[in-house]
Structure 1
Amino acid sequence: MTTTSPAFGGRRRRGAATALTATGVLLAGAFWAAAPASAAPAEPCAGGEMSVDGLAQWNRDRACDLVGRTIRAGRTSAVVPPRGTSVTAHVLFVDGEEELTVTTAADGSVTATTEPAAAADAAAAAPTACNDHASNLMGIKWPVGSTYRWFYHPANQAKSKLTAAEALNATKNATKNVAIGFNDCGLSAKPKVFQAYAGTTSAAPNVTNGGGCSASDGKNVAGWGDMGGSGPLGVTCNWSSSGTIVASDMKVNFRYDYWNGKGSCPAGRYDYQSVATHERGHTFGLGHVDGTAHPTATMTPAIGPCNKSKRTLDAGEHQALITMYGRR
């Protein structure tokens, strides 16, 4: 299978890497050692967004508490979470993907890891989905045997070119398919993690229209937003503590047109269930794989209009879920 006009981008760039992290590549200049253990002042930092470039100076001075302040890296941002927690923004653009993880240590020091957008590459010869055993674990997961209980925020859905029923059912199917490791390879084992749809909510996902993560309200919400005609296609935000995911929100950009997967696909539309399945992979702890070497994978950062093959996981992604959660 080949992909054209990729919506998720392609192969990750590795040239600037200095070390690996659980959620991406640690780029030179993008991570700073925590300041010596000490209690950060209670007074919050004043001002708007802070670039990741400003973290080095802040960690040296520690003149104010950074929790609640927005950190920006490229086109991606995240609100600094409470002490002892992390937030990871997976932001998918039409020309690639970016990731930003911001962690606040117990002593109040703040670190950030980033991964820049990777330009789309033409798909090369690669294994078929059932012979592809590649995967990328983010290093965070839900507690084994737990249930991811989530809500749907329907506002703005009508602008996606999908009916209300199509959008909700596709979101349900995408979430369920990842939670059970659904695949076309005859692999019947199901990971020991569950999901439950809890109904609609007036609360919007804690995802900014600029393609970043705002402060979590502790409620797991999937929904829609206006992230601009050239903005992200979709964003997933995971909040975690000590390797355990505690909340996960998803927002899809209604400024792109979507298809329900039935009949003839109108030119230029993206299969919404495939997009949602990719995002839900992040929700359950799957990271991106190389889009050039693994174009059939659901978690490749590449998909073309009218491509609905990403609705099911490949062999490697299925095994990754079993590795994380064990078997039911």
Structure 2
Amino acid sequence: MSLVTAGAVAIGVALAAVTVSSGGGAAVGATPSCRGDHITVASLASGCAVSSGTVVLPDGRRFTVPPVGTTVQALPVAASGAGDPGDVSLTNTGRAGLAVRVDDHWSGSPAAVRQERAAVQHRNAALGSTSGAATTTATTSAPSSCSNKTYTRLGVRWASRVDWRYNATGQKVAGVTAIRAGADAWTGALSSCGKKVASTASDRYLGTATEAPGVTAAGGCGSSSGTSVAGWGSLRSGTLAVTCVWSRSGVAVEVDERYSTAVAWSVSTTCTGTRFDLRGVATHEWGHGFGLGHTAQSSGLVMKPASTTCETGQRTLGLGDLMGIDALY
């Protein structure tokens, strides 16, 4: 992710430098166990097995420890020009401990990191050809979404239809139609940039929800509820939305989306002013929900990590987006 390279490096340095401050000891001869609501990333390096609690990143994002065998990923999309803290993946391997990844920087239990890195490589290889792996470099010409073939994968996909609900609490606009359109942009018979594919990705909107999405105001992920929910809430300045995806052995089991209540949104066919196009941002977030990662900002694709105001072009898949969903489904 070219937009966040500097931020990722800074976070990597912080992860390496932060001191152990979490509580929780272990009996003599037993595997160490980290507990509490402030488990630091540095403490995980001991290889401690973690059954519960909250992991706090140096940048303040908090993640409820997922069950053993579960990975949770947080994928933010930023307003163009704003800082992006990076994509996070947290995997609970059980006895080997927790593996933490911020963009391309791994930390946590060394054994868990080795195990999860190998698993991600294996899953991505099994998900299809790697010919579309992101190789975009900066260019002085205007980006063209129909000339860029790049895509990245999160290492997860759905084995079944995604059933989801919408929580309208705090909504800035009547957003369910736009968010549904964002999901549907990745499913069924797709045609873009002169190319046609048949995507087996599938979703079904089940109606409204009373529960909030499991995404925190700081951009981390809470507990999985078993129900996929899209909704609204406060987020860090410059962050438009965050998607959290829970998976087990590469199979996605829940996706929650939180859209910022601090920015102005548009759901009109045409967009004017300093509003952000909800349908376009939702298309990006559902790309994450179905298993795609970020491409370079210069790619001009739906899956680039930042959006500008009134970017209605992000409603339409570019060539790399199309190739990515075709590789996954």
Q: 1:210 matched to which residue of 2?
A: 218
Aligned-pair CA distance for 1:96: 3.6
Closer/same/farther in 2, CA of residues 311 and 80 from structure 1, 3 Å limit: same
Cross-structure match for 1:82: 67
Secondary structure at the aligned position of 1:235 is classed as strand
Cα contact 1:83–1:108 (8 A) shared by 2: no
Matching residue's letter, 2:99: T
C-alpha distance in 1 between matches for 2:312 and 2:60:
27
Structure-1-length-normalised TM-score: 0.77
* SS of structure 1 residue aligned to 2:197: coil
Question: RMSD of aligned C-alpha atoms?
Answer: 3.0
Q: In 2, Cα distance between the equivalents of 1:126 and 1:79?
A: 41
Distance in 2 separating the partners of 1:123 and 1:300: 15
In the alignment, the residues of structure 1 paired with residue 271 and residue 147 of structure 2 have an alpha-carbon distance, to the nearest angstrom, of: 29
Q: Distance in 2 between matches of 1:241 and 1:191?
A: 22
Q: What amino acid is aligned across from residue 193 of structure 2 in structure 1?
A: C
Amino acid at match of 2:150: A
Q: CA deviation at 1:192?
A: 1.4
Q: Given the alignment, which residue of 84, 88, 98 partners 1:100? A: 88
Change (3 A) 1:104 1:201: same
Q: Which of 204, 207, 214 pairs up with 1:199? A: 207
Residue 4 of structure 1 corresponds to none
> 2:230 corresponds to which residue?
222
Pairing partner for 2:263 from 256, 270, 278: 256
Count of residue pairs brought into register by the alignment: 282
Question: How far apart are residue 301 of structure 1 and its match?
Answer: 1.1
Question: Alignment partner for residue 115 of structure 1, among 69, 93, 103?
Answer: 103
Shift of 1:45: 4.6
Q: Return 242-251 or 105-114, whichever deviates more.
A: 105-114
Residues 264 and 198 of structure 1, relative CA distance in 2, 3 Å threshold: closer
Show the counterpart of 2:185. Answer: 177
TM-score w.r.t. the length of structure 2 is 0.77
Among 259, 281, 302, the residue aligned to 2:287: 281
- Distance, in Å, in 2 between the alignment partners of 1:103 and 1:114 is 12
In the aligned structure 1, how far is the partner of 2:34 from the partner of 2:60? 22
Where does residue 123 of structure 2 map in the other structure? none
Aligned match of 1:134: 150
What code does the residue aligned with 2:240 have? L
Determine if contact 1:153/1:221 at 8 Å carries over to the other structure: yes
Contact map agreement 1:30 1:114 (CA 8 A) in 2: no
User: What residue number does 1:5 align with?
Assistant: none
Find the partner of 2:308 among 304, 318, 321.
304
Higher relative contact order (CA 8 A, sep 6+): 1
* 2:325 equivalent in structure 1: 321
Deviations 1:9-47 (A, max 9, x none): 963417977xxxxxxxx957859xxxxxx9857xx7543
Asked if 1 retains the 8 angstrom alpha-carbon contact of 2:158 and 2:251, the reply is yes
Letter in 2 for 1:323: A
Shift of 1:239: 0.6
In 2, Cα distance between equivalents of 1:318 and 1:156: 33
CA drift at 1:54: 2.6
- 5+ residue gaps, structure 1, are 1-8, 18-25, 32-37, 117-121
Q: 1:123–1:291: 8 Å Cα contact kept in structure 2? A: no
Q: What's the offset of the Cα at 1:264? A: 5.1
Which residue in 2 is equivalent to 1:247? Answer: 254
2:293 is equivalent to residue 270 of structure 1: no
Q: Deviations over 1:71-116 (max 9, x none)?
A: 3242433211110111111123431431111111132611111139
- Percent identity of equivalent pairs: 30
Unaligned runs of 5+ in 2: 17-28, 105-137
Q: Take 1:149 and 1:86, find their aligned partners in 2: how far apart are those partners?
A: 19
Letter in 2 for 1:142: W
- Counterpart CA distance in 2 for 1:81 and 1:103 is 7
Q: Where does residue 40 of structure 2 map in the other structure?
A: 51
Query: CA 1:310 to 1:123, structure 2 compared with 1: closer, same or farther past 3 Å?
Result: farther
Query: Does structure 2 retain, via aligned residues, the 8 Å contact 1:27–1:115?
Result: no
Give the Cα–Cα distance (whole angstroms) in 1 for the partners of residues 142 and 327 of structure 2: 23
AA matched with 2:314: K
2:115 maps to what in 1? none
1:67 to 2:75 alignment: no
Partner Cα separation in structure 2 for residue 93 and residue 219 of structure 1: 25
CA distance in 1, matches of 2:271, 2:314: 17
After TM superposition, give the deviation of residue 66 of structure 1 in Å. 4.4
d(CA) in 1 for partners of 2:15, 2:189: 34
Residue pair 2:71, 2:91 contacting (<8 A) in 1 also: yes
Point out the structure with the larger helix share: 2
